[in-house]
Structure 1
């Protein structure tokens, strides 16, 4: 028994180290590939959060495949879950507020620590108040129980999941299907390049004129200072002064003309980039892989319509599924097709495959989204703060994924997750996911429709 425990501990420790290395590599190669890492603690926090998130998915698969003994799995679950909650509620918010205070104030350590503690207490207050507005927890649990923390983390995480899922379900077919692509030809791209060049030539010509006028103004100012003490040249001084005033007016006029030209040039450049991207998309759609993604886009479209319909039905009739998709599928095969199969064996195999696919796609999808979001808004001053926020979102996202993935598992495996997470109102989270998903999908459809209509090729 002791050898098995040591083996189980080695499996969990090795997995944690491997996932930590993957998180570290992703952090360096994707998030910080264009920036210099300033705070090592930020990188460690992100990698540890990523590793614990992956370990929780791994433990779900271990429950299905029955790897490790039940006692070791329970201890690993408790370690991963408690560690994640400590990081999400205490460490990441505290270090985020400390980093903010360091960047804003140049005070003593005591002042920075005191300010950080006050801000963290404010965060805890609002984090706790989230639970007052949702039926997320049974009243029998104490104020310091683990259910109190998971229930509030779940609300935030499920909201993030639903928003991302709603947008992804709409955006995936929009980006994959050729029907939404605008025809872009080489002539369109060449005409836009010509406009960019013409605008650039105009800016250069006006800046040359501006430099010449500034040089003339400096010469006139030198003439005024050299003749200021001589009475004979007072008329000349007046003439030079009036000339200087005229030069200043011309300089102001040219500067006023250059500014809108530069702004117009930026818009032209962005439109040229958009045309090039559209041209590349059209060419890519003609390849074998592009045609594959086009077919996949139709599948995503059907899934999006079906998901919106199902979410609407669930919301209107206050319905939550009781049977997981695996068991339901096996029942259909047995009842309607007449096949005699080993239900327990195939339930385990299909559940393993389904959970594995959900885990991989969840991790991959979230990392891609985090990379795009970070590259869009980060700069060298805010990069560390943004990564801490992304780590916070990632941890809550994956805890919520475990909470929601429970419904996709047969009852015998579902009970284990129920025991680990505690006595939560699981049905509420599924209804909340449906509501936010529906709102996110409809808002994404409206946004992409308006964006598509407002982008004519000029």
Structure 2
């Protein structure tokens, strides 16, 4: 028992350190780019020498004004309160990651014949914590940040508390309205188990949507690469684009700081006459309105430039890497992966229309399994091909979701664009924590179909049942939901690609 606890403590510490050292720096970098943070990251200064080659923005201020406003913006963003919010968000995300990932560790330790009583005690506590995080803690934190709508979080006004409360009540109502599949209604006997089933339903839909979108995107990219429909960007194009993007973000930050100063001056200065307030003819009011419109235009320009820059960076890196031997090998694997993604979309369509889900004891047939079975028989290898193929398919789904992280953050940034930059970054990380916890739980449920019955505990009940037996069954009520959301997301992504397709994304403004 002591040995098991030592191993679990070491695993928790390892997961926390991994999240803090590896995952969080990457996610914060992606979130800052998605929220249009003007601060350049390390290595971004390479484009500074090319500033003079780019046209000056039509909205540029004098050098002294830009310097003063930029320093104000940086000092505001670097305030102690803002840093505390980001540090609390980082700790919360690391804790959620550790609690969600430790569930997989417990399943692996159970398969390694560790003491089941110790593992079950940790499993119950961790599962309860994850349910609380997904249903209450993370949504409440997001609602507080969105409700206060300020970087500093110091102005505790009643309106802020009221708006945060309304947002959380709306979330609670929506969460309780999530339908429980009829096949799983017998398992939702208590509030905690019902919450777990609802989380699994949400997670299955999220996994289906993200992996379906990633599958069609990978298939489209493979087709376009093979047909030479996209032109590769050069490193010079990328450097020029980075410099232009940073200038636009700095200009945007300066305008926001100027707008904040004008609004404060309007509140503290002499009030205009009644006629001026009614007609909006006061100079301050006109300046605020004009500056607000300018900020809207700059935000739209910066978002378009950010998306184009991401395409250009990827294109330039791929073109450089594909010239190497390793790159050509990876390119071949990418093409195979694109073909697999197209096959997975067709398989989902067949499952929904022809094959069906009449047999709930095992998943619908996977033609990849059939092909691998005949291939392995040629080498006389004793291997459970069906089990290993389902594990590979589950790993492919995880890879598809990892490939969509940047897109997810971009969508979230568009939703939270009205929130200030530093809090918006924290909100993005918290929403990603919510998605991560839901994804891990839903993946554990899908994991049941890839493991032997001795580990999954199909039909087993009581204190001696395996850990995974406490989770809802994927094949009973969630497999059709996954295939439906997977296919629908693929269709929507393809339609979106048709209407937004651009043959040459090298230069900014190609979308216009």
TM-score bracket, shorter-length normalisation: 0.5 to 0.7
Residues 61, 356 of structure 1: 8 Å contact kept: no
Quote the Cα distance in structure 1 between the aligned partners of 2:324 and 2:381.
44
Quote the Cα distance in structure 2 between the aligned partners of 1:264 and 1:123.
29
* 1:24 paired to 2:20: yes
Gaps of 5+ in 1: 198-257
| CA apart distance, 1:288 | 1.9
Q: Which moved more, 1:304-313 or 1:388-397?
A: 304-313
SS of aligned partner of 2:185: coil
What corresponds to 1:86 in structure 2?
Answer: 132
What corresponds to 2:476 in structure 1?
Answer: 427
What corresponds to 1:232 in structure 2?
Answer: none
Q: Which moved more, 1:406-415 or 1:84-93?
A: 406-415
Quote the Cα distance in structure 2 between the aligned partners of 1:334 and 1:27.
38
Describe the shift of the 1:181–1:53 C-alpha distance in structure 2 as closer, same or farther (beyond 3 A): farther
Q: Give TM-score scaled by structure 1 length.
A: 0.67
Quote the Cα distance in structure 2 between the aligned partners of 1:9 and 1:357.
33
What corresponds to 2:193 in structure 1?
Answer: 147
What corresponds to 1:289 in structure 2?
Answer: 326
Residues 284, 290 of structure 1: 8 Å contact kept: yes
What corresponds to 1:120 in structure 2?
Answer: 168
* Counterpart among 341, 355, 366 of residue 304 in structure 1: 341
Q: How does 1:362-377 map to 2 (within 5 A)?
A: 362=398, 366=401, 369-370=404-405, 373-374=408-409, 377=413
Quote the Cα distance in structure 2 between the aligned partners of 1:175 and 1:110.
50
* 1:397 paired to 2:439: yes
* 1:129 paired to 2:166: no
Quote the Cα distance in structure 2 between the aligned partners of 1:42 and 1:417.
30
What corresponds to 2:263 in structure 1?
Answer: none
| CA apart distance, 1:53 | 2.0
Describe the shift of the 1:277–1:398 C-alpha distance in structure 2 as closer, same or farther (beyond 3 A): closer
| CA apart distance, 1:271 | 10
| CA apart distance, 1:50 | 0.9
Q: Give TM-score scaled by structure 2 length.
A: 0.61
Q: Which moved more, 1:367-376 or 1:115-124?
A: 367-376
Residues 101, 115 of structure 1: 8 Å contact kept: yes
Once the two structures are superposed, residues 323-342 of structure 1 have per-residue CA deviations (whole angstroms, 9 ceiling, x without a partner) of: 4799x77995799779595x
Once the two structures are superposed, residues 35-84 of structure 1 have per-residue CA deviations (whole angstroms, 9 ceiling, x without a partner) of: 764412211111111112211222232333x2412222222221221110
Quote the Cα distance in structure 2 between the aligned partners of 1:20 and 1:275.
34
Aligned length in residues: 382
Residues 46, 388 of structure 1: 8 Å contact kept: yes
Once the two structures are superposed, residues 83-104 of structure 1 have per-residue CA deviations (whole angstroms, 9 ceiling, x without a partner) of: 1001111211122222223336
| CA apart distance, 1:129 | 0.8
Q: How does 1:306-345 map to 2 (within 5 A)?
A: 306-317=343-354, 318-319=356-357, 322-323=361-362, 341=382
What corresponds to 1:62 in structure 2?
Answer: 109
| CA apart distance, 1:137 | 2.8
Quote the Cα distance in structure 2 between the aligned partners of 1:447 and 1:375.
15
| CA apart distance, 1:289 | 2.8
Describe the shift of the 1:8–1:355 C-alpha distance in structure 2 as closer, same or farther (beyond 3 A): farther
Gaps of 5+ in 2: 38-77, 245-293, 458-465
Q: Which has the larger radius of gyration?
A: 1
Quote the Cα distance in structure 2 between the aligned partners of 1:27 and 1:333.
40
* 1:167 paired to 2:213: yes
Residues 211, 401 of structure 2: 8 Å contact kept: no
Describe the shift of the 1:80–1:284 C-alpha distance in structure 2 as closer, same or farther (beyond 3 A): same
Residues 215, 342 of structure 2: 8 Å contact kept: no
Quote the Cα distance in structure 2 between the aligned partners of 1:407 and 1:297.
27
